[in-house]
Structure formats: structure tokens, C-alpha cells
């Protein structure tokens, strides 16, 4: 008979199965996570609360409808091309004959972005660098 005291064995903690389980859970979470898209942002444009100018320099009003039709100083244009719009802006600028002629873009909220970009491009082609956008304040047009 062996009556000697045995040293108690120290318990071993095996971490390898624990790490395996954590990696499986991590992979599952990575594959099942959905990422939010920035295109789902809800924004409302255009509205501003700025003070009206007291002195109004010579200005050209360009209106863009929701369908993409243009008006320059309340005169409708027959086409939608940038060249036609630039020629109309150039003619309106010579009629205004002001050194600081401002182009005011009044676009419908449902107008295509490309239609507004066409107005900006036409103003650049007509050498009209001063641009501003018409906005609404409390339901009224400004």
C-alpha cells in the first residue's frame, strides 16, 4: 500500500476550444450583419432663412421645372440643351448690362439634379460667375 500523499494536480484550462468557439461566433456575426447605406438618408431641400438684400444688382432669373424645362427671365426655352441655355443667358446678360449680373437659379424641388447642373454649366459658358439659388422660407418663395 502506498500511503504517501499525492500532490494535488493543478487544473489545466485549455483555451483552444474557447478560442475556436469565439472565432465561429465572430465569423457568424460578420456574415449576418447588414450595413446601413448612406443613400437611405432622408433630406429635404431647399429651405433657407437668410435676410433679403436691400440693393438688388442686375439679375437673371433661371427657372427649372420638375420636368426639366427652362425659363430665362420668365421666357420659356424651346429646347433643353446647354448650348441653347448658354446663348439665352448670354443674351440676357447683355440686356442687363451690369458688371455684377447675378444668375438666380429657381429650381423645382422635384427637378432632376442634371437639369440644375446644366444651368450652372451654361452660366459658366456665358461667363456669368455670380450664382445664387432661390429657396423658400415658411412656404413663401424668396
What is the DSSP track for 1-13? ---PPPPPPPPP-
Q: Percentage of the chain surpassing pLDDT 70?
A: 75
Lowest mean pLDDT among 32-41, 58-67, 93-102: 32-41
Nearest by Cα to 92 from 71, 106, 107: 71
Tens of pLDDT, residue by residue over 36-51, are 554 444 545 555 665 6
Query: Rounded distance, CA 86 to CA 89, Å?
Result: 5
Query: Rounded distance, CA 121 to CA 85, Å?
Result: 9
Domains of the chain: 59-141 (3.30.420.270)
Amino acid at each position: 500500500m502506498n500511503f504517501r500523499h499525492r500532490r494535488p494536480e493543478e487544473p489545466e484550462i485549455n483555451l483552444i476550444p474557447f478560442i475556436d468557439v469565439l472565432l465561429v461566433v465572430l465569423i457568424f456575426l460578420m456574415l449576418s450583419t447588414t450595413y446601413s447605406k448612406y443613400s437611405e438618408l432622408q433630406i429635404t431641400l431647399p429651405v433657407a432663412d437668410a435676410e433679403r438684400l436691400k440693393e438688388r444688382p442686375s439679375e437673371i432669373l433661371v427657372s427649372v421645372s420638375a420636368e426639366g424645362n427652362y425659363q430665362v427671365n420668365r421666357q420659356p426655352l424651346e429646347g433643353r440643351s446647354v448650348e441653347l441655355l448658354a446663348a439665352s443667358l448670354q443674351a440676357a446678360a447683355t440686356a442687363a448690362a451690369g458688371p455684377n449680373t447675378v444668375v438666380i437659379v429657381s429650381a423645382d424641388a422635384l427637378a432632376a439634379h442634371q437639369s440644375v447642373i446644366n444651368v450652372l454649366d451654361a452660366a459658366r459658358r456665358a461667363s456669368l460667375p455670380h450664382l445664387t439659388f432661390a429657396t423658400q422660407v415658411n412656404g413663401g418663395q424668396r
